[in-house]
Amino acid sequence: MISIEGLRGRQANARRMAESLGLSGAVKDLTNDELEVFGRAFERQFIVQYAERPMMQDLYVRHLDAILLGAMVAKAQMDSNIDGEMPGSGKIGGPIPPRAGFFGIGDDWDDVGAITTGSEQNWIHSGTTLMGGTAGNPIKIGENAVHVIIAVGSYHPSPKIEAMKFEIDGKERPVIITGWAQRQPGSVHVKELENEFLFKKNTTVKATVFASAQHGTTVNDIPYLIGASYIAEAQLRVLDVATLPGTTNAVVMTT
């Protein structure tokens, strides 16, 4: 297990990261008890879970400082304690894997459906069936959620998405080229981000994808986000994602 001393050092790194991002006033340090719970949750879900995939273990360890920063932001934003995967009443669940419903995709990541080829297509946006908003508009992260995204991947056995693009708080980010990573025989279809994305309260997010028309008029793919989420305990008890969007649960909202 990651030691408390090691996590203290990581928290110092995360604090410096917060300063560089202009977030010094938007973080709270985790106590030793919280760091212990964080370490157990991180190791169980992102190390032990990938016992046969050392590449994924290494990926999560490389981004541990940013994932811990997400916990510090969540503690300040939700004004409660970080309490692992099964949080107590009124506390914050996390770190946990991102759920498709947290981003308005649908019941699961494969709800994206068939993707039209040859042009930019919406992926994360307000116009999904789950969100029921305007197609092409970004989603907005609610007050009961914080996410740290460290990579993108595909669950499809033969991924076809060649590239994707994120627009965060109205600013388009450079295209993420995924095609070459997907075609490594027998590989895990994962593209690590050079710099993590931190999504907190009121962050707007839109993501689009592109697949070549050489595959036909439509393709099937299952893109997903890799990282860690922090969700308020009451909202983490919601099993049916149909009720996550909107101001009542304030996990994800339309714009």
Token pair belonging to 216: 């036909």
**Whole-prediction pTM:** 0.95
pLDDT of residue 157: 87
Q: What is the mean pLDDT of residues 111-124?
A: 96
Q: How far apart are CA 178 and CA 152, in angstroms?
A: 9
Q: How far apart are CA 201 and CA 182, in angstroms?
A: 32
CA distances from 215 to 110, 120, 160, 201 (A): 19, 15, 8, 38
Q: How far is it between the farthest Cα atoms of the chain?
A: 55
**Higher pLDDT among residues 108 and 158, named by residue:** 108
Mean of the per-residue pLDDT values for the chain? Answer: 94
Q: Assign 209 to helix, strand or coil.
A: strand
Percent of the chain scoring above 90 in pLDDT = 89
- Choose the CATH number for 99-231 among 2.60.40, 2.60.120, 3.40.50, 3.30.70: 2.60.120
Q: What is the mean pLDDT of residues 112-117?
A: 94
Q: How far apart are CA 42 and CA 57, in angstroms?
A: 10
pLDDT of residue 51: 84
Q: What angle do CA 193, 35, 80 make, to 5 degrees?
A: 90
Token pair belonging to 96: 């946990």
* Cis before 95 (ω within 30): yes
pLDDT in tens, 6-21: 999 999 999 999 999 9
pLDDT in tens, 59-86: 999 999 999 999 999 999 999 999 999 9
Domain boundaries, the chain: 1-96, 99-231
Q: What is the mean pLDDT of residues 105-129?
A: 97
pLDDT of residue 120: 98
Percent of the chain scoring above 70 in pLDDT = 96
Q: How far apart are CA 35 and CA 1, in angstroms?
A: 12
Q: How far apart are CA 128 and CA 73, in angstroms?
A: 28
CA distances from 251 to 89, 100, 107, 145, 198 (A): 17, 12, 15, 5, 15
Confidence check: pLDDT of 109 > 90: yes
> How many C-alpha atoms does 147 have within 13 Å on its Cβ side?
26
Confidence check: pLDDT of 4 > 90: no
pLDDT in tens, 156-212: 988 999 999 999 999 999 999 997 656 665 567 899 999 999 999 999 999 999 999
Q: How far apart are CA 255 and CA 253, in angstroms?
A: 7
pLDDT bucket at 45, cuts 50 / 70 / 90: very high
